Amino acid sequence: MVRALSQFVRGAAIPRRRAIVSGVALGCICFANGCTLEDATAASTQLTATASALTNYYSALDTILVETGQLNALQEVMYGIPYDARTKGLIADTKAEIEKREALAKDLANLAQSFAKLTGSTSPADASASASNLQTEVASLKLAKIKMSDDEQNGMNTAVMLVVAAIQEHKEREAARGIGQFTGALHDFFVKEEPAYESINKDYVAVSSSLAKSMLQNGQTDPSGSFKIALDPYGLTPQVSDPKLRSGIEKLAEQEVDEKANSLNDAEIRAGADMDKCLKEMADRIGLVADEKPMKFRLAPITVANVEKWSSQFQTMASSAATAKAPAATTPSSKSPANSN
């Protein structure tokens, strides 16, 4: 886990340019000749949904990091496995980077929402104010490397400034010509970091499943819940007292932990792949509008719903994680956590 997090933190770049890229996209779409109000409004609605899904995806990762820290603290209290300052620092730094991305995705959603209003405005002052805001954001950028050369970074930053200037000067066609490159950058950024996002989830699953199996092996769980599916319809309450039966249920529970761990990893991978598709699809759709071609789709990419479904399971976790603390009391020593597969 330490290596995975350290690689993420070392390579972390503030993804501010994504919000700028999409903000630029909105401005360009707004002014592109031949773009209908219906197309522009549809693009705004779809990009809002996509950005909201991205916000929730990062929020879920943030919750996972909180839970991972708490699980490491539990292991230290229960089994004496050190939760050292370096690991704590890496989790904290990674969490801070994820929160930046979450905030910027939320900013992107806000920009997309405001676009619908901007498309119906005939006041040059509205366009000027919007472009000025984008230029202010660009000026605050401090790009760090994520597997790209200095020339690529400088080229992207310079291009953003040129497009913002084009909007301010009402050079609609110049802004529209550059829109494809910038919307593609939004997708590319996510793809570059996607393996790091997967590692965050895998670390959480490894620690949580290992702790769960260890609790089972040490007789620190109540296996009676396994019988609820059979007894609930008849209003009966399970009470497992037979040692042999209890042992058999605990072995079954261990298998279920392994299966659930694999399922959790697979679900995050699918969510990341779906988010990838969402961003790519929106880049293509906005490109169509910017190129003055009709955009036939009026609904957000279908994979948006898949991402939202995955993220939603962490909303309850987030509320409990905000107040949860590692237990202060010591627990009798027992066998160390089981190795997760």
Q: Please write the tens of the pLDDT for every residue from 186-218.
A: 688 788 889 999 999 999 999 999 999 999 888
220 falls within a domain: no
146 falls within a domain: yes
258 falls within a domain: no
253 falls within a domain: no
Tell me the angle at which helices 124-139 and 16-31 cross, rounded to the nearest 10 degrees: 160
Cβ count near 48 (within 10 Å): 20
Confidence band, pLDDT 50/70/90 cuts, at residue 183: low
Of 104, 110, 144, 132, the residue nearest 19 (C-alpha): 104
222 falls within a domain: no
Which range is least confidently modeled, 22-36, 103-117, 144-158, 252-266?
22-36
243 falls within a domain: no
Q: Please write the tens of the pLDDT for every residue from 135-174.
A: 454 343 333 444 445 555 565 566 556 555 655 565 555 5
Q: Domain span at residue 79?
A: 2-193+280-321
55 falls within a domain: yes
**Using an 8 Å Cβ cutoff, are 307 and 275 in contact?**
yes
**E runs forming strands in the chain:** none
3-class SS shares of the chain: helix, strand, coil, % to 5:
75, 0, 25
* Tokens, residue 113: 């929402």
261 falls within a domain: no
Domains contained in the chain, number: 1
Alpha-helical runs (H) found in 16-84: 16-31, 37-79
Cβ count near 299 (within 10 Å): 10
Of 100, 93, 132, 85, the residue nearest 15 (C-alpha): 100
